[in-house]
Structure 1
Amino acid sequence: MMGCGTHELLIRVSVILSLFCFCTGFSPVDKYFIDCGSPTNTTLGDRVFMADSLASSLLSSPQNILSNSSSNPTTNSLESPLYQTARIFSGVSKYTFPITQIGRHWIRLYFFPSVYGNHDSSSANFSVSAQNFALLTNFNPKNASVKEFSVNVSSPLVITFIPANNSFAFLNAMEVVSVPDLLITDDATLVSPSGKFQGLLTQAMETVFRVNMGGQTVSFENDTLWRTWVPDQDFLVQKNLATNVSKIGAVRYPQGGATPDIAPATVYGTCAEMNTQGDANSNFNVTWEFNVDQGFQYFVRFHFCDIVSASANQLYFNVYIDSTIVAPDLDLSNINLGFLATPYYMDFVTAMNENSKIRISIGPSSLKNSLPNAILNGLEIMKMNNSMGSLDGVASTVPSSPKTKKNVGMIVGLIIGVLVAVVLVAIVFFICRRRNMESLGHSKAWSPFSLTMGSKYSNGTTLSTVSNLGYRFPFATVQEATNNFDESWVIGIGGFGKVYKGELNDGTKVAVKRGNPRSQQGFAEFRTEIEMLSQFRHRHLVSLIGHCDEKNEMILIYEYMENGTLKSHLYGAGLPNLSWKERLEICIGAARGLHYLHTGYSKAVIHRDVKSANILLDENLMAKVADFGLSKTGPEIDQTHVSTAVKGSFGYLDPEYFRRQQLTEKSDVYSFGVVLFEVLCARTVIDPSLPREMVNLAEWAMKWQKKGQLDQIIDHHLVGKIKPDSLRKFGETAEKCLAEYGVDRPSMGDVLWNLEYALQLQEAVLQNDPAENSTNVIGELAPQVNDFNHVDTTVSATQFEAAKLDDVSGVSMSRVFSQLVKSEGR
């Protein structure tokens, strides 16, 4: 009896221990829990949400805490204590979370519309962004809800709340938690067209459905990652076609496969099964229907665990997404090496969704002698960001009423009447003056026309100190140009803020970058951008048209670049592929812009954030360098470097600058070298989903370059289209740019010469044999420019200086090269 009791005790202890391990399987490195507006900590399950005051160091907001206990007694009946208080944001506000573990993080935002002090949150209207992604746009929560997003983070995570005009934002609670690396990997299958989906790890996602088939609600207390799973009954198209099965105790997780972090046993231990009622001739599908937003792709994860079969190889079935079979004749026991009740999951990515519904179905296999049956244990559907980096922009854009716009225009006209007329006259004068200067052939740096307006367009804050730098637009003019910052006009989202397409009264198309004026870092970048671009005028630098610092706004207005960023043309946006000639010409244009920054002013200007996303293309694919918010003036004549804090973009950062915090022009050269390989290989500079040796593009490409096999890793669209010597020269140029020490790297002028030469090699054609490739032509070309820092002595000093002047004003250096290379291709 004693042995039996001991045995029973051991079983109970082992069960308890296994449950304990199950509930504490994952310990996140980064975890922030905030109960917004609460004066004290709040415990929810095994999590402690810190009091609002303890999170104040993470928050940058225009006002002190504006949070009150809800006066609505209905909140007392809510299960979650997190809905009792809220924080109110009357202006643009940011949470900045230090991140220890690079990778995907969950962002969970809690909302409960109620009355908080003097604020009725049911009337709130606001947007939320994280990093470069728009999470919520024109959001107006109507019910208690938790919005769950996941974003891949490689730097401090910044979450920004942006109230709409004359409105406010609110938040009841927030979680920021690191996600296990293996939870979402880049091995999903694309549904249509069928194939492997690339780039999943860089996507921001919103969880729209997490469903427990055949079971009850699984609360966060019973999930290692604090997820909530809802029952499937409300989504079944025909409830009578499915029956529920529950065998939670039978679930056995496989070694090296699915874990409780993928989904808990309470999900894998229940399932919806075809309700065949013993009819061996049953032939129907069980279908669930989910309402989704149009214009997005969706990540779909199926969870399977065969808890219905008595032995292996009994269950064969088909799985569908909409009308496409994504898993034909699925045999779970074969996948799990003959074991039953073993969790298994499959990941898919849908095509761009043109409907407002996604249908998930399971049905019998057509294999001979297989019994009609099918199961599904769990399902997750996550929305993926669109090409504009938005998870909500397409779905929630509300067009402005023409009548409202007209009334607003009349009011603004009555208020600022005469001033608007003065501004319009000044704009016309300014444009005419610029055109006259251009027609007269002025090649010196543009000293912008400065309009003195005193305090008429100033709010009295420190932002008015930039009023003498460039042309200042009234806020009303910017509103009109952007259709009152219409979210459907957003063309980009960056660290500074959103970029809108706009049109001035004279029909000029502009790009309007709207930032957060209350961020000290944002203000510094705002001023730097104006100061830098006000000093320069060059065809390969994006032109600053003006700025607006009215009403605590920080707005920069640029010339509009029709073809967006170089990055979007290389990967991820589905745009037409660039030819090798187009890519070379874009690199040459960008190099000219950077060369001018380094040499065209009394002091060198170091860009500090050279990357493909900051190289913009006009309607003719001419490249222009943009985004000078991090730019810095170079060292004095008697100095070798500038000592400064490290800033830049992950993957492009000069390792020497990172180690020593000593900035030189060669840091830009290193970043440009990364861009060159990015242009050649058409892939992201950091891709954690790839094997370790391929994660960092620069390191990976350098290995192949040093082996002399760079052609093995080029963009597959370029295979067979690059002449060998052009590729060789391009690879050598990129390799020299990525030298470990700055002193060993070429100047941007040297880089420019070699890129021009790579283009000459690509286009070179022998008069007697036009079909020959550059391998045979190389002997006919001037060998002197094969080496950096070497110029043909037949080119006179006068010619060389003239070439430098041409480059400063943006004119091609082809005249100099015509002394070196004879080619019919130019």
Structure 2
Amino acid sequence: MLSPTTHGLESSSSVESPQLCRQFTLSEIQVATKNFDESLVIGRGGFGKVYKGNVTYGTTLMTAAIKRLDSTSNQGALEFWAEVKMLSNLRHCHLVSLIGYCNDGQEMILVYEYMPHGTLEDHLHKRVTSLTWMRRLQICIGAARGLDYLHTGTSIKHGVIHRDVKPSNILLDDSWAAKISDFGLSKIGPINQPCTYVNTVVKGTFGYLDPDYFSMGRLTRKSDVFAFGVILFEVLCGRKAIDKSLDEEQWGLVTWVQDSIEEGRLKQIVDSNIRGRIISPKCLKEFAQLAERCLHSHPKHRPTMAQVVMGLEYILALQEKANGALKPAGRTIFGKKIPVFVFTSSGENSDGSISLKSLRYHLDTIQGENHIFRRFDFDTIQVATENFSEANRVFQLRFNSMYKGRLQNGQDIAIAESFSNRFIENHMREASILVKCEHENLVKMLGYCIEGTKVFFIYEFATNASLHHLLHDPTCIQLDWNKLYRILLGVARGLVYLHKHAPIPIIHGNVRPGNILLDESFDPKLSDLRFATAINESDCVHVNAVSGTL
């Protein structure tokens, strides 16, 4: 049996052996794929066929994509173990998750989370679904975030260069979120400088290869940026990177697009499926300019992927404004312009306290478009917190306590217990906002529990506590500048989302290091929206009392 320690990545000393994925037996894979039944094949690539099947992961039966190495493939053990090692150490919402692998005799099989909407290539070139311009922008942003994480935000000290960025390696989940996949050709980067290169044999896909890398063998993060620039033009034009069905002078997408732009025909090269719809002229111009910067002949003049993300988010904001996506003044979350949750008189007891029956009713009616606000039973959170043990208490205040816990499915949670009407109302306000807002840099509120006279609110748990603790507690890990920069960038993105892209613009009202939580990858999550305020299209709103932190 081949070993990951003998067939790993070059420079693999920076990568630990697999821990977060399980090893499947060949018989388990055969059962999942009905002995590799052709009717279950959902894709084919350079590695081999991909099957859809059901596998057991922990106590859960889940649908998976099962990729089997073809004996005729020019890939082999090196690429197999590179993928296993890489994805076992990387976790990000815009990277495909590796569930496990099988290495039995000549069989090398990779098991991934299943992506119901297939690949970006399917929708651009096989016309599985006609993607709207807005969805194309959102997919590009997700893929760019995934690449940015690979380049600068991984737990691998020197970052990762993907080396095969193309639409068939951008998968789409059930919410159309983009996930970067296929790390068989990936390389550990050099010391953390964007234009420092690795000398390596040229590998990748024609049409996406960085000319500097192809001619000189110098692989950098900017090689991925070049490939992403090609994808941006594919998304805009709906044409393949290389299309030999066309006249020879039009085979290459990049040359054709650059010539067309130089001739003033930018509008004419837009994909016919979206050409007749509203695309802001400014948005179109900015998008084309960003793609061209990615394709600059000199790598040092190309943007970083972090800059690409910011550019795309700006372009999306331009398009949303053109669409009138920001709804007019008067939209509210609670039926009032300033979101203060007020119970009706029938929802209060005679002593002025909140009726638990009324509270349960209002909590049950809080729902987001893609987010179910779950009612937890008390036994579940009691087991999760080991009966609210002192060891699991995060903090205790006069009217509020916080516990950490773990659900039976392995998910870590934080549980806030509120003892006063004011705190309950504040959490209600936060729930009504968070259930309707969804962003990777906002903390998630999962649900609530009412037991007797006790009210609990359940959130996702941040493994690395808050930025305040990491900055000011001498016993905490010291953050290097790259991590600090990524944290600041993530917080800024979260605030841009609240201000510009949330269902209604929101002022957070209490931005401070203690409310910036950090997950296992040190990605920031803005928390504590108890004092958040909804605003209209003007820049200010009058409030009756000042809240926040001096």
Give the TM-score, by structure 1 length.
Answer: 0.38
Deviation per CA, 1:292-327: give whole Å up to 9, x if none.
Answer: xxxxxxxxxxxxxxxxxxxxxxxxxxxxxxxxxxxx
Query: SS of 2:65's equivalent?
Result: strand
Of 783, 794, 813, which aligns to 2:493?
813
- Matching residue within 524, 530, 536 for 2:90: 536
CA distance in 1, matches of 2:107, 2:68: 8
Residue identity opposite 1:755 in structure 2: L
Distance 1:552 1:562 in 2: 29
The corresponding residue for 2:243 is 687
Shift in Å, 1:632: 0.3
Distance (whole Å) between structure 2 residues aligned to residue 769 and residue 605 of structure 1: 37
Question: Which of 16, 26, 47 is the equivalent residue of 1:475?
Answer: 26
Of 556, 559, 564, 2:110 maps to 556
Deviation of the 1:717 alpha carbon: 1.3
Indicate which of 732, 747, 754 corresponds to 2:304.
747
Number of the residue aligned with 1:82: none
Relative distance call for 1:763 and 1:637 in structure 2 (3 A) is: closer
Checking the alignment, whether the CA contact within 8 Å between 2:317 and 2:500 is kept in structure 1 is no
Cα offset, 1:704, TM superposition: 2.3
- How big is the shift at 1:519? 7.2
- Contact 1:760–1:823 (8 Å) recurs in 2: no
1:636 corresponds in structure 2 to 191
Aligned residue identity for 1:762: Q
Post-superposition offset of 1:823: 10
Distance in 2 separating the partners of 1:759 and 1:649: 29
Q: Is the CA contact 2:198–2:220 (under 8 Å) kept in the aligned structure 1? A: yes
Measured in 1, the distance between the counterparts of 2:499 and 2:136 equals 24
1:508 has 2:62 as partner: yes
Q: Tell me, in whole angstroms, the C-alpha distance in 2 between the residues paired with 1:560 and 1:768.
A: 31
Instruction: Please give the per-residue CA displacement for 1:204-263, whole angstroms capped at 9, x wherever unaligned.
Output: xxxxxxxxxxxxxxxxxxxxxxxxxxxxxxxxxxxxxxxxxxxxxxxxxxxxxxxxxxxx
Superposition deviation, residue 710 in structure 1: 1.4
**What is the CA–CA distance in structure 1 between the aligned matches of 2:190 and 2:5, rounded to whole Å?**
29
Q: Does 1:654 align with 2:207?
A: no
Contact 2:282 2:318 in 1 (8 A): yes
Q: Given the alignment of the two structures, is residue 547 of structure 1 paired with residue 229 of structure 2, yes or no?
A: no
| One-letter identity of the residue aligned with 2:215 | R
Is the 2:257–2:269 contact (alpha carbons within 8 Å) kept by the matching residues of 1?
yes
Q: Does 1:726 align with 2:308?
A: no
Partner of 2:129: 576
Alignment of 1:367-766 (within 5 A): 460-462=1-3, 468-469=17-18, 470-505=21-56, 506-516=60-70, 521-572=75-126, 574-601=127-154, 602-637=157-192, 640-719=196-275, 720-764=277-321
Secondary structure of residue in 1 paired with 2:140: helix
Partner-residue secondary structure (3-state), 2:202:
coil
Root-mean-square deviation over aligned CA pairs: 3.2
CA distance, structure 2, for counterparts of residue 594 and residue 815 of structure 1: 22
For the Cα contact (< 8 Å) 1:518–1:552, is it kept in 2? Answer: no
Give secondary structure in 2 for the equivalent of 1:507: strand
Contact map agreement 2:153 2:483 (CA 8 A) in 1: no
Kindly state the Cα deviation for residue 818 of structure 1 after the two structures are TM-superposed.
5.7
Distance in 1 of aligned mates of 2:64 and 2:267? 40
1:764–1:825 contact (8 Å) kept in structure 2: no
Q: Is the 8 A contact 1:765 1:824 kept in 2?
A: no
Specify whether residues 707 and 640 from structure 1 end up closer, same or farther in structure 2 by C-alpha distance, changes over 3 A only.
same
TM superposition shift of 1:802: 7.4
* Residue identity opposite 1:501 in structure 2: K
Alignment identity in percent?
Answer: 47
Pair 1:699–1:551, CA change in 2 (3 A): same
Letter in 2 for 1:759: L
CA distance in 1, matches of 2:324, 2:62: 46
Give the TM-score taking structure 2 as reference length. 0.57
SS in 2 for 1:675: helix
Q: 1:461 to 1:656 in 2, by over 3 A?
A: closer
Instruction: Encode CA deviations 1:736-758: one digit per residue, 9 max, x unaligned.
Output: 00001101100000000000111
Change (3 A) 1:613 1:766: closer
Distance 1:466 1:736, change over 3 A: same
Tell me the SS of whatever aligns to 2:30.
helix
Deviations 1:512-560 (A, max 9, x none): 0000479784110001101110110000000001101013211100000
2:162–2:186 contact (8 Å) kept in structure 1:
yes
Judge conservation of contact 1:591–1:751 (CA < 8 Å) in 2: yes
Residues 732/824 of structure 1: CA separation in 2 closer, same or farther (3 Å cut): farther
Q: How does 1:134-533 map to 2 (within 5 A)?
A: 460-462=1-3, 468-469=17-18, 470-505=21-56, 506-516=60-70, 521-533=75-87
Change (3 A) 1:504 1:817: closer
Provide the rounded CA distance (Å) in 2 between the counterparts of 1:823 and 1:525. Answer: 43
For residues 822 and 475 of structure 1, what CA distance do their matches in structure 2 show?
46
- The alignment partner of 2:212 has SS state of helix
Measure, in 1, the Cα distance between the counterparts of 2:184 and 2:292: 28
1:565-607 deviation digits (Å, cap 9, x = unpaired):
00000122x3220000100000000000000000013112000
CA distance in 1, matches of 2:184, 2:325: 52
Pair 1:490–1:812, CA change in 2 (3 A): farther
SS of equivalent residue, structure 1 residue 624: strand
CA gap 1:466/1:650 in 2 versus in 1, 3 angstroms: closer
Would the aligned equivalents of 2:2 and 2:103 in 1 still touch at CA under 8 Å?
no
Cα distance in structure 2, aligned partners of 1:517 and 1:686: 27
Structure 1: how far apart are the matches of 2:325 and 2:499? 21
Partners of 2:139 and 2:68 in 1: how far apart?
27
| Structure of higher RCO (CA pairs closer than 8 Å, 6+ residues apart) | 2
Looking at structure 1, the residues matched to 226 and 233 of structure 2 have their Cα atoms a distance apart, in angstroms, of: 11
Shift of 1:640: 1.6
User: Structure 1: where are the runs of 5+ without partners?
Assistant: 1-459, 772-797
Report the 3-state secondary structure (helix = DSSP H, G, I; strand = E; otherwise coil) of the residue aligned with 2:109: strand
Taking the aligned partners of 1:769 and 1:635, their CA distance within structure 2 comes to 43
* Structure 1 residues 652 and 557, CA gap change in structure 2 (3 angstroms): same
SS in 2 for 1:687: coil
Change (3 A) 1:564 1:821: closer
Assess if the C-alpha contact under 8 Å between 1:604 and 1:634 holds in 2: yes
Larger radius of gyration: 1
1:613 shift after superposition = 0.5
Contact 2:327 2:504 in 1 (8 A): no
Report the counterpart of residue 774 of structure 1 in structure 2: none
CA–CA distance in structure 2, aligned partners of residues 565 and 731 of structure 1: 23
Determine the C-alpha separation between the residues in 1 that align with 2:325 and 2:148. 37
Question: Any idea what SS the aligned residue of 2:36 has?
Answer: coil
